Structure 1
Amino acid sequence: MQFEGAVLREQGVTFAIVVVKRHVVDNRTEAQSAIRSFSPVFPGVPVVLMAQDSSGRATYFGRPDITRFMSHVSPSRVPWKRYTLN
């Protein structure tokens, strides 16, 4: 499975962001399961999920300090990359 994601280091914290469908971010159980499934691609790094609505507005799910920080960052400034999860 291929997906879009990014690894960022901000304010001394390294973390990963993974793009998912909106319904994943809206469902806590599904979001937590998704984070666990993506964690092997980013070992030892907190994973945050990001979904966009039809107008491009981003919503995040994950560690509160990281989601708060990312809520002030435009998704267009994130260095997205295609990853593969086997």
Structure 2
Amino acid sequence: KILPYFEHKRLCDISAKDVITWQNEIRKQTNSSGELLSQGYLKTIHNQLSSLFNHAIKIYGLRLNPASTVGNMGKEERKEMSYWTVEEY
């Protein structure tokens, strides 16, 4: 989801505006069932993009992380916790 969109740009040439445009495109995409991508998945791929920028900052001297500037998309999905009762144990 990241590489196909940014494959013709160098990391140092990607702006916050580019990241916002990418986020908007990703939010429109659907999975194999035809449903919009889950909030957890959106958060995960944004975090992966942000990690790429953070690596470039540490190793290659990139000045800023436009994915961090823009902010995350999606949110972590909370899973319901199930507890065993004494009878079930």
Q: Please, what TM-score do these two structures have when normalized by structure 2?
A: 0.32
TM-score (norm 1): 0.33
Structure number with the higher helix fraction is 2
Greater RCO, CA 8 A, separation 6+: 1
